[in-house]
Amino acid sequence: MTTNILEMRNITKTFPGVKALQEVTLDVARGEVHAICGENGAGKSTLMKVLSGVYPFGTYEGDIVFENETMEFRDISDSEAVGVVIIHQELALSPYLSIAENIFLNNEIKGSFGLIDWNKTNIEASKLLARVGLRENPTTKVRDLGVGKQQLVEIAKALSKRVKLLILDEPTAALNDEDSDHLLDLILSLKGQNITSIIISHKLNEIKKIADTVTVIRDGKAIETIPKVDVTEDRIIKDMVGRDLEHRYPDHTPHIGEEILRVENWTAYHPQDPNRVMVDNVNLNVKRGEIVGIAGLMGAGRTEFAMSLFGRSYGTKISGQVFKNGKEIKTRTVSEAIDNGLAYATEDRKYYGLNLIEDIKRNISMASLKKLERGGLVDDNEEYKVADGYRKSMNIKAPSVLAKVGKLSGGNQQKVVLSKWIYSDPDVLILDEPTRGIDVGAKYEIYTIINRLAAEGKGVIVISSELPELIGICDRIYAIAEGRITGEVPIAEATPETLIKYMTMEKERI
């Protein structure tokens, strides 16, 4: 057993109402690169948060054994003290501080009188930068670096803490190909310096390139651990998605009519980095009564596509054409998009979708106040009646429509969002992760509502990273990767395996 640097034994982590991890066991050998794969929400990040002390000892069951000692981390500084360092997907750097200041943040090199010794700080920082292969002056501000270089600064920071086990949570998700390659090479060179790495990723080709061992997690359970020689993409995919798909989705008999919406050559660039293409020449269409899925991993450009289409709410240098019922329409502002019969329910309800301090009634009417205007004033009584109608028909569980939306559960909040958009009377609804963060029962209700909308002859686009969900409710599914449509799959041929293949298809491989 001495070859294992880390053994996590029977880890169980429960959130109110949800078992996020069930009896997960993970053994990591000293000096290896160990990949952890799984769908979004499978429990990968939770496992790493348990390991790094973000969820302190006592809030989970099971043992963490690091270098043959049982650990009881109370917070991140405890785990960092023994050499376990986690680099999160969202980088934790302070943009207005220099590289050196960031590296030694909360770990400052002190000289006489307890003051910071800046010379030594910068010299030590330069040494660490050389180790990660970053040629930058340590006094450069972090905000002047690209994401790839910032990632390297994070690793240099980890090295400054004498890291033995480095955990990287989707490190290449925001990087371009060149930066990704550089980062993967660096992980391999750290391996040569006897630093063990755990890398969370769903990019299968990069896992194949660097991992010595792969553990697949699904629904909070470790499915299997595969040594390098046995790793195949098919095997990982099968492990990631193999679950019972029956009876989780309401029956749906499509009545598909003529084309209602067509998008041609839609392209959008990153708002801060106008050379980075985020949505790349997307072509797609939706027919009356059809539920069309867009499958893509986080950061693949799904939300960016939807938001750039919906009133240019995202991105710059947007180009392309939109046709409704064969006629070209413009969607340059949100109100123009709404007037032209589009609706977009956002991925992040609380941040982008709802006014949490207002009541249900005012949230539902928010996008269509003009309809309630009588002689220049909003007719509150009519508004109440409309909202109460939706409360009943959508089964929003609240004492009355005067209840504040912030106090509702996630599922009910989502029903308020859907009510708002249904009341705006759209022809095409784009629903971005409509069931994220809501429980199974409410999910079923949301699917029923989606079916009803399609049955009324509307076109529905569902964006989701849960493949079983898309397969369960859609009539046709597009896969998107790196901003491009990489595949279009009729429902009869849609399996998680085929979809994941398209979703992880990278540019040079086509």
Partner 1 sequence: MSDLETKPADDTAAGGRVNPVDNKFTRSLSHVLSDLGKNGIFIALILVVVVFEILTNGVLLRPQNVSNLIVQNGYILILAIGMVMVIVAGHIDLSVGSVAAFVGALSGVFAVNMGLPAWLAIVLSLLIGAVVGAWQGFWIAYVGIPAFIVTLAGMLIFRGLTLVVLGNQNIGSFPDFYRALGNGFLTDVFGKYNIDPLSIGVAVIAIVLLVVQSIRTRRGRQSYAQAVEPLGWFVAKLVLVSAAVLLFAYALATFKGIPVTLIVLAVLILIYGIVMNRSVFGRHIYAIGGNLHAAELSGIKTRVVTFWLFVNMGFLAGLAGLVFTARLNLAGPKAGDGFELEAISAAFIGGAAVTGGVGTIGGAIVGGLIIGVLNNGMSIMGIGIEWQQAVKGLVLLLAVAFDVYNKRRSGGR
Q: Which residues bind partner 1 (CB under 8 A)?
A: 17, 310-311, 313, 333-335, 337-338, 344, 346, 351-358, 362, 365-367, 369-370, 373, 376-378, 380-382, 384-385, 388, 397-400, 404, 406-412, 420, 439, 442
What is the 3 state secondary structure string of 321-387? EEEECCEEECCCCHHHHHHCCEEEECCCHHHHHCCCCCEHHHHHHCCCHHHHEECCEECHHHHHHHH
Residue 55 or 310 having the CB closest to partner 1: 310
Question: What is the nearest approach in angstroms of partner 1 to the Cβ of residue 398?
Answer: 6
Question: What is the nearest approach in angstroms of partner 1 to the Cβ of residue 493?
Answer: 34
φ, ψ for residue 131, nearest 5 deg: -65, -35
Question: What is the nearest approach in angstroms of partner 1 to the Cβ of residue 437?
Answer: 10
Please count the residues of the chain. 510
Residue 317 or 397 having the CB closest to partner 1: 397
Cα atoms found within 13 Å of the Cα of residue 498, Cβ hemisphere only: 13
Question: What is the nearest approach in angstroms of partner 1 to the Cβ of residue 421?
Answer: 9
Residue 127 or 385 having the CB closest to partner 1: 385
CA 289 and chain centroid, separation? 28
Question: What is the nearest approach in angstroms of partner 1 to the Cβ of residue 415?
Answer: 10
Question: What is the nearest approach in angstroms of partner 1 to the Cβ of residue 16?
Answer: 9
Give me the residues paired with residue 268 across strands. 279
Residues 95, 100, 104: CA angle, nearest 5 degrees:
95
Residue 383 or 475 having the CB closest to partner 1: 383
Residue 92 or 369 having the CB closest to partner 1: 369
Closest CA to 198 of 179, 236, 207: 207
Residue 252 or 362 having the CB closest to partner 1: 362
Residue 127 or 407 having the CB closest to partner 1: 407
State the residue for tokens 């429980």.
439
Helices (H) and strands (E) in the chain, counts: 16, 22
Contact in structure between 214 and 191 (CB atoms under 8 Å) = no
φ, ψ for residue 224, nearest 5 deg: -160, 160
Question: What is the nearest approach in angstroms of partner 1 to the Cβ of residue 353?
Answer: 6
φ, ψ for residue 386, nearest 5 deg: -60, -50
Residue 43 or 353 having the CB closest to partner 1: 353
Contact in structure between 468 and 248 (CB atoms under 8 Å) = yes
Do strands 291-295 and 428-432 pair parallel, antiparallel, or not at all (unpaired)? unpaired
φ, ψ for residue 433, nearest 5 deg: 50, 60
Residue 406 is given by DSSP the state G
Question: What is the nearest approach in angstroms of partner 1 to the Cβ of residue 332?
Answer: 12
Residue 347 or 482 having the CB closest to partner 1: 347
State the residue for tokens 């910071």.
116
Question: What is the nearest approach in angstroms of partner 1 to the Cβ of residue 422?
Answer: 13
